[in-house]
Amino acid sequence: MNRFGPLGLLLTAGLLAAAPPGLHREGALWVETTTGSESMPQVEQVRVVAEGNVTVHGGSTGDVAYVVTRRVRARSEAEARDALQEAGVTLARQGRGVRLVVNDATGPVDLQVTMPRTVAKVIVQTAVGNIEVSEINGSVAAQTGGGNIELKSIKGGADVNSQGGNLQLGDVGGSARAVSAGGEIAAGVIGGDAQLETAGGNITVQKIGGAARAITAGGSIRIAQVGGAVAANTGGGTIDIGKAGGVVTIHNEGGGPIEVGSSGGARCENASGAIKVGSWNGTIHLATASGSVVAQILGEKLMGDSSVSTASGDITVYIPSNVGVTIRAQNDGASRAQGIVSEFQGVQVRMNGGTAFAAGAINGGGPILRLEGTGGTIWIKKKQ
């Protein structure tokens, strides 16, 4: 009885699906190529398991096809054939799912797979090697024990993991999760939410449709546009968020500049480095141990009390003429009243010993905006 059920099908290379292998020499190596294919027009999920480099491409036909390339160092063709023996390729189907496994004793192989692009899910696993998947209408899950992963034109979601390689997501229509133990992460457009984590490398994304979470132990984070909220953390490097539709929360634990073009509010903490933020109708809480801070209110109001502070550097805030706020400013270590400079007449500056204070209502008052500095200058300016 077929152990896969009435819809089950088991195909083994060399029996039904495979073509006779071709063997030729390339320098000191003998190279063998094994091919196979089977018509599977209604397949919904394909799982590929191998040791080596894996390339998967969505095609326009209903066939699942493979090309396995193996290499061996040998003195003669006979010795090479003896070492290679038969390619360990298994193609199995159960219901609407397919499993393609390459288990070869000679070592890592190169595997190329073509399948219907209409599959709902593609799963690729390799113990060591690079993975490339392209032109798939469904979702992709890819995992390698030590190589790069590259996705191209994936209409569904993506979940990729590498134990020590770079991750290139290209364009992903759904949500994406990318985790690397030590490599760069780059993406074009991610249609949904994004979770991006690396133990040591830069993170660069053009656009994320939903919320974003980006973490690197030591590298820069640059995201041009995010539709929702952003949570970003680096152990040391630049963090640059161009535009965010939600609140941006940033922690730079090792030092480096932070810049947010516009956001629905911002909470940024920097161990050592400048902060520059534009906030649209949110609240701002910005703090750095060493560096200048620039904050711009871009909308029509602050939604709540906000704060800006630096232990060493200048503070500059830009306030539009139609936004009402109440200023509470303090600059310790100021040697003169110019420790706080305001372009609004409603803000009064006074000195008390070596500390400059300022308080007052701007445009009728509103939520409290606290400004705290040490030694530099606090500038309260009109946004033109």
DSSP code per residue over 328-365: EEEEET-SSGGGEEES-TT-EEEEETTEEEEEEEETT-
Three-state secondary-structure class, residue 40: coil
pLDDT of residue 279: 82
Give, rounded to a whole angstrom, the gap between the first and last alpha carbons of the chain. 80
- The whole-number pLDDT of residue 330 equals 96
* 3-state SS class at 210: coil
Distance CA 74, CA 76 (A): 6
Which pairing describes strands 9-12 and 89-94: parallel, antiparallel, or unpaired?
A: antiparallel
Distance CA 17, CA 90 (A): 9
Q: What is the pLDDT of residue 3?
A: 33
Query: What is residue 66's predicted lDDT score, i.e. its pLDDT?
Result: 95
Rounded to whole angstroms, how far apart are CA atoms 221 and 185? Answer: 9
Nearest partner of 66 among 115, 29, 104, judged by Cα = 115
Global pTM reads 0.90
In sequence order, which residues have a C-beta less than 8 Å from that of residue 345 and are 6 or more positions away? none
| Residue ranges in the chain modelled with pLDDT below 50 | 1-17
- What does the pLDDT read at residue 384? 80
H/E stretch holding 80: helix 77-84
Distances in Å between the alpha carbon of 203 and those of 170, 177, 184, 232, 237?
13, 13, 6, 10, 11
Whole-angstrom Cα distance, residue 332 to residue 149? Answer: 51
Closest of 324, 311, 293, 296 to residue 381, by C-alpha: 296
**Hey, what are 315's tokens?**
């503070």
d(CA 372, CA 340): 10
State the pLDDT at residue 337. Answer: 59
Gyration radius (Cα) of the chain, Å? 29
Q: How many CA atoms lie within 13 A of 10 on its CB side?
A: 5
Residue 20 is predicted with a pLDDT of 54
Beta bridge partners of 11: 91
What pLDDT is recorded for position 10?
39
What confidence score (pLDDT) does residue 84 get? 80
Residue 268, exposed/middle/buried by CB under 10 A (0-12, 13-18, 19+)? buried
Q: Quote the pLDDT of residue 85.
A: 78
Q: What is the pLDDT of residue 17?
A: 42
Q: Check residue 282 and report its DSSP letter.
A: S
